[in-house]
Amino acid sequence: MQSLRKLIGCPVFSFDSKRLGEVQDVCLDIGEAAVTGFIVSSPQESGGGTSGWAVRYADAMMDREAVIIGEEVSVAQLFDTNADSLGGHLLTKLLDKAVFTENGENLGEVDDVLYNPGDGKVAGYEVSAGILADLVKGRVLRSINGIRKIAQDRIIVAER
């Protein structure tokens, strides 16, 4: 299993080694427990600044240090894909969010989401209860299928 948090900021390359930008966010389908794609920021050709676009997970290959877009995907196809078409939730909207059970027990905060780069399946998310608790008990890996609701300020999960 690998960390999705560590993909944020990783470079994105075309199959022919051209740098296209960097991973700005990761799209997740909570119901399917899967990564659906990436939001990529790239420098604009003129005038500075950045622009963004999305790529489907199926059109990319993962490495611990980079995302590589397969040779069969044209740049035109990439720019036709947008974040809305990938559906689901953005990783950055889940990270560091408080996790509560349905009964109101505070479990900590989402520290990371772990996935299998081979098939894009999400193994679960790590909950940190703070530095001291993490040192004593370790972080808890919870199933993403237990998420009941994602609110603006918290995630509600099923009781264990």
Kindly report the average pLDDT of the chain as a whole number. Answer: 83
Residues 130, 149 within the same domain: yes
| 46 shares its domain with 68 | yes
Instruction: Judge if 80 and 98 occupy the same domain.
Output: no
10 Å Cβ neighbour count for 148?
12
Selection from 28, 39, 33 nearest residue 67 by Cα: 39
Residues pairing with 122 in the sheet: 115
Least-confidence region, from 18-22, 50-54, 135-139: 50-54
Same domain, 9 and 82: yes
Residue pair 14/69 in contact (Cβ under 8 Å)? The answer is: yes
pLDDT digits (tens, 9 = 90+) for 120-131: 999 999 999 888
Which residues pair with residue 37 across a beta bridge?
27, 56
Q: Could you tell me if 74 and 101 lie in one domain?
A: no
pLDDT, tens digit (0-9, with 9 covering 90-100), for 61-113: 887 788 988 755 544 444 445 555 566 788 999 999 999 999 999 999 999 99
Give the integer Cα–Cα distance in Å for 67 and 53. 14
Q: Are residues 46 and 120 in the same domain?
A: no
CATH code of the domain in which 118 resides: 2.30.30.240
